Amino acid sequence: MTDQPTINPDEIHEFVRERYGAIARSADTATAVSCCGPSATTDVSCCGGEAGSCNTTLYDPALLEGLPVDVSGLSLGCGDPVTIAALHKGERVLDLGSGGGIDCFLASKQVGAEGYVIGVDMTPDMLTKANANKQKMGVRNVEFRQGQIEAMPVESDSMDVVMSNCVINLSPDKPAVFREAFRVLRSGGRVSISDIVTEGNFSPELRAQADKWAECVTGAIDVSVYTGFMREAGFVDIQVVDKYDADGIVPIQAGMPRIFSARITARKV
């Protein structure tokens, strides 16, 4: 099966944790406040940008106004899942793979004091960074939890919206992520995802490259398989809202299938 990892899932988690831990730590240094600055252990590009650049161009600049550079400078996504989520005051939002927290902080403004936002991430250094950002901003309706998105530390039927920005492609068990997203959503809840997807499959040899997987490339799967996993989990009204070439967002090589950054929405009945 070319849509399944050929690397051990634990190894993928470890590779991904190391990569994003290094990025979080490099964002702490005086010389590399931006997400994609050179880090001690990697010289590769971020998930979603060329080395040395950040991904704030993915958002409408008006949305980012007032965010500290520590937050906007640690944007590792491949799109803007917050805007298509069309959040309302008072909603409860879960962000899968919250990183430095950019989408959580954007959502927190939109749901207001009566709403609540939870970010889940498995990388301790990223959580440290997100919590430091939270403290700096004095935000009270955001909470960051450590955990894997394949087994979310979140109560069933408790969230109005599940969003995610460039993370599910990194998971070695995407069907489990969608089952968990379905479990934690209340009936009538919705998902809003930006992610890297493909048209076609990677060869088993490319699929086996853990470093490329951690760069949001070779863990990406065909968009129809991706939406099929969502359907199997129970989601309805699954829509690929938009989809554009990911060239310049992730490092693409010859011999790879077409790679896209897509925004995908769905609902739990």
Q: Does 39 bind ligand SAM (CB under 6 A)?
A: no
Tokens representing 31 are 């010389």
Q: Which of 39, 72, 110, 123 binds ligand SAM (CB under 6 A)?
A: 123
Torsion of CA 205, 207, 211, 212, to 10 degrees: 110
Site string for ligand SAM, 13-32 (x = CB under 6 A): x--x---x------------
Q: Does 133 bind ligand SAM (CB under 6 A)?
A: no
**CB neighbour list of residue 23: distance below 8 Å, 6 or more residues apart:** 35, 36, 39, 42, 46, 74, 76, 126
Rule CB under 6 A: which of 218-257 touch ligand SAM?
A: none
Q: Does 166 bind ligand SAM (CB under 6 A)?
A: yes
**CB neighbour list of residue 30: distance below 8 Å, 6 or more residues apart:** none
Q: Does 167 bind ligand SAM (CB under 6 A)?
A: yes
Size of the site for ligand SAM (CB under 6 A): 27
Are 187 and 268 contacting, i.e. CB atoms less than 8 angstroms apart? yes
Smaller CB separation from ligand SAM, 98 or 218: 98
Compute the least distance from the CB of residue 216 to ligand SAM, in Å. 6
Smaller CB separation from ligand SAM, 45 or 141: 45
Q: Does 47 bind ligand SAM (CB under 6 A)?
A: yes
User: Angle 166-101-136 (CA atoms, 0-180°, nearest 5)?
Assistant: 160
129 vs 24: CA distance, rounded Å: 7
Q: Which of 67, 84, 118, 122 binds ligand SAM (CB under 6 A)?
A: 122
Smaller CB separation from ligand SAM, 75 or 141: 75
Burial of 113 per CB tally in 10 Å (0-12, 13-18, 19+): exposed
